[in-house]
A and B are shown apart, each in its own frame.
Chain A
C-alpha cells in the first residue's frame, strides 16, 4: 500500500524529443488513477518512469514516500500489465504466474498456494497447465493480471491492458478490473487513450497532451469542469462543439460573435468581463446541452438549418448549421425534423464554456 508521487519529472529522448514535460502528480494510496490522452502524449512514458523502465531526465519519483528515482524496477515493488500481456511463451500459465515469486526465491509450497489462490480469483484454475499460445485473448489478459497480482505489489501499473480485446470483452473486463481494484485496494496507475475506460474506471484522471498534464480530477470534474479547451474537446462522445468566437459588447448587451451568428450572453457578462485579456475566444457547448426549438424561446437562441441527421437508436445526433459552423446536437429518441428544416438552437448558458483562444484556458467553469 503506497502512494506515488512524481515531482517535476521530465523525460527527453535522444536529447531532442520531449516525451514528458515537467509533470507533477500525486497518486493517492489505494486510488485507481488513469493517465488519459491521445497516442504520443507521454502517458506510457510516464508509466514506464514509475515502473523504472525509463529513467527520468529530470525530477524525482516517490513510491510510498521513498525516493525510487534511481532504483531498478525490481526494487520498486511494482507490477505491470502490458498491452501485449508479455506472457513468456515457453512457460505454462502456472510458471508464468509463479515467475515473479520464483525469482524472489520464495518457498515452493508458498508459491503454489499463492498461484492457486490468484488463479481461483481470476477463474483460470483449469488453464494452469496450458501454454500462452493455447489461450484466448481474454484468458491471456487474465493470466497477465494474475502474474501482476500474485506478488501483491505496492503499485499496479497497467499499460492499455484492454486494447487488444474485442469490444464486448473489453466492457466486461472493465467492470471486473474495477471491482478487483476496489477489493484489493492496491494503488493503480492505468494508461489508456479510451475516454470511456477512463471515465468508468478511474477515481481520478490525469488528462495529458504533448507531454504535459492538462488537468487532474475526478471523472465528474473532467466532464463538467474542463479547465482547458483540450480536455473539453477530448472528453465526451460526440465531442464538445467548439467554435471560434469574439466577445462583443453592443449597447448594454454582450454577445459571442461567431462566423454568421451571434449569441447573447448578457447574464454572464459580469463573470466574463473581468477575466478577459482579449476578445478572441472559443465557445464550447456539449451536444447533450443543446436544444432544437422551432422558434426562439428566449434571447439565447440562434437560427440554423438541419444539415445531417445521424440516428443511433436510443439517441440521435442532429447536425445543425448555424452561420458557417456546424453544431452537433444530441437528442433522445427520434427527431421530428428533416434535413433542410429551419430551426433555432437554444443554448443553456449554464452549460456554455468559454476558453481563451490563445492559451486554451477556461474563462468560466
Chain B
C-alpha cells in the first residue's frame, strides 16, 4: 500500500518536476541570451546588460508591434468571448447543437497556415468578400482589405476571431449546459425575460467559462504569429507587425538571437501580466 503510493508519487511527480525544471531552465537561458551580444550566426555569450532591450524598445517595429498586439488583444478577446457565449446560448436554444457546433468548430480545426491563405483570397481586391459586397449592392464598401494599411490589421484580427470562435463556443456551451436547467426555469417563472435570464442566471454561472477562455484567448492574441507570417509578413509596410513576428524576424532573419530573446522575454512578461492576475483569481475561486 505504502509502496504503491510512493511509486505513484514518483511516477507523476518525476516527469512534472523534470518538465518544470526544463521550463525554468529555458526561461533562464532565454533571459541570459537576451543580455548577450549574440548578434550573428556565431554563438556569442558576452554579457552586455540591457543593451538589447533598449535597442528593441526604441525601434519603430517594436512600437508598432506593441500597439498592434494591444489592439489585437482587445479586438480579438472581447468579441470572441462574448460572441462565443451568446452564440453558445443561442445554439442551445435552437436545440440543433451538433450541427451548429460542427459548423463553428470547423475553422478551429483548420491550420492557421491554410486559414491564412484562404483569407488572403477572401480579402483580395477581387476576392470573395468584395465580390459578395458588389453582388448585394454594397460595392462602395468593397476595398482592398489587406492592401490598405488602415484595414489590414483588423482584417487579420477578424481571421483569428473566426478561427477561435468555435473554441469559445465549445467552452461556453459546456459551461451553460453545466447550469441546472431548473434554475433557468425558476427564473422564467419568477418573471425574468430571456435577456434577464441570460444576465442574472447564465452570465454569473459561466464565470468558469471565462476563467478558461479569457487567459487562453489572451495568450493566443499575444503570441499571434502564423496568420501574420502567412498573410502579410507584417505588411503593407510594417502595419501588421506583431511582437511574435518581430521576434521571428530578429531571431531568424536578422540572426540577432539576443534581440529575439529580448523580445521573447518582453512577451513573456506581458503574458505574465495577463495570466498571473487571472490565475490568482481563478485559484481563489477554485479553492474557495
Residues on A close to B: CB < 8 A? 51-53, 72-74, 78-80, 82-84, 86, 88-91, 99-100, 103-104, 147, 151, 157
Query: Is B204 in the interface zone, CB < 8 Å from A?
Result: yes
Main secondary structure of the interface of B (DSSP, over half): helix
Query: Is B75 in the interface zone, CB < 8 Å from A?
Result: no
Q: A73-B191, A80-B189, A86-B182 are in contact. List 12 more A-B contacts (CB 8 A).
A: A52-B188, A53-B185, A74-B188, A82-B185, A84-B180, A86-B180, A88-B187, A88-B204, A90-B204, A99-B190, A103-B196, A151-B190
C-alpha spacing A147/B188, complex, angstroms: 13
Q: A73-B191, A74-B191 are in contact. Are A82 and B186 (CB under 8 A)?
A: yes
The one of A82, A83, A84, A89 that contacts B205, using a Cβ cutoff of 8 Å: A89
Q: Which residues of chain B in 170-213 are interfacial with respect to chain A, using CB atoms and an 8 Å cutoff?
A: 180, 182-183, 185-193, 196, 200-201, 204-205
- Contact at B190–A100, with CB atoms within 8 Å? yes
Q: Which 10 A-B pairs have the closest CB atoms?
A: A86-B186, A74-B191, A100-B190, A86-B182, A90-B204, A80-B189, A73-B189, A82-B182, A73-B188, A86-B183
C-alpha spacing A53/B185, complex, angstroms: 7
Residue of A nearest to B182 (CB): A86
Chain A residues with Cβ below 8 Å from B200 are 88, 99, 103
The one of A84, A89, A103 that contacts B190, using a Cβ cutoff of 8 Å: A103
- Contact at B191–A86, with CB atoms within 8 Å? no
Chain B residues with Cβ below 8 Å from A90 are 204-205
Chain B residues with Cβ below 8 Å from A74 are 188-193
- CB 8 Å contact bits of B82-101 with A (1 = contact, 0 = none): 00000000000000000000
Residue of A nearest to B203 (CB): A90
The one of B186, B204, B205 that contacts A80, using a Cβ cutoff of 8 Å: B186
Chain A residues with Cβ below 8 Å from B204 are 88, 90-91
Nearest CB of chain A from residue B223's CB, rounded to whole Å: 33
C-alpha spacing A331/B194, complex, angstroms: 58
The one of A72, A86, A88 that contacts B185, using a Cβ cutoff of 8 Å: A86
Chain B residues with Cβ below 8 Å from A52 are 188-189
Q: List 9 interface pairs A-B (beta carbons < 8 Å), by A numbering.
A: A72-B188, A74-B190, A74-B191, A74-B193, A82-B182, A82-B186, A90-B205, A100-B190, A147-B186
Q: A82-B182, A82-B185, A103-B196 are in contact. Are A88 and B201 (CB under 8 A)?
A: yes
Nearest CB of chain A from residue B209's CB, rounded to whole Å: 13
C-alpha spacing A84/B186, complex, angstroms: 10
Nearest CB of chain A from residue B19's CB, rounded to whole Å: 36
Chain B residues with Cβ below 8 Å from A80 are 185-186, 189
Nearest CB of chain B from residue A118's CB, rounded to whole Å: 14
The one of A78, A84, A89, A91 that contacts B189, using a Cβ cutoff of 8 Å: A78
Chain B residues with Cβ below 8 Å from A86 are 180, 182-183, 185-186
Nearest CB of chain A from residue B14's CB, rounded to whole Å: 37
Nearest CB of chain B from residue A236's CB, rounded to whole Å: 32
Chain B residues with Cβ below 8 Å from A91 are 204
The one of B183, B188, B191, B193 that contacts A88, using a Cβ cutoff of 8 Å: B183
Q: Which residues of chain B in 132-177 are interfacial with respect to chain A, using CB atoms and an 8 Å cutoff?
A: none
Chain A residues with Cβ below 8 Å from B189 are 51-53, 73-74, 78-80, 157
C-alpha spacing A82/B185, complex, angstroms: 9
Q: Which residues of chain B in 209-235 are interfacial with respect to chain A, using CB atoms and an 8 Å cutoff?
A: none
Chain B residues with Cβ below 8 Å from A100 are 190-191
C-alpha spacing A91/B182, complex, angstroms: 16
Nearest CB of chain A from residue B27's CB, rounded to whole Å: 37
Chain B residues with Cβ below 8 Å from A83 are 182
Nearest CB of chain A from residue B116's CB, rounded to whole Å: 41
Nearest CB of chain B from residue A105's CB, rounded to whole Å: 10
Q: A88-B201, A90-B204 are in contact. Are A103 and B191 (CB under 8 A)?
A: yes
Chain B residues with Cβ below 8 Å from A84 are 180, 182
Residue of A nearest to B179 (CB): A89
Central interface residue in B196, B200, B204, by most chain A CB within 10 Å? B200
C-alpha spacing A14/B204, complex, angstroms: 32
Nearest CB of chain A from residue B131's CB, rounded to whole Å: 43
Residue of B nearest to A84 (CB): B182
Central interface residue in A83, A100, A103, by most chain B CB within 10 Å? A103
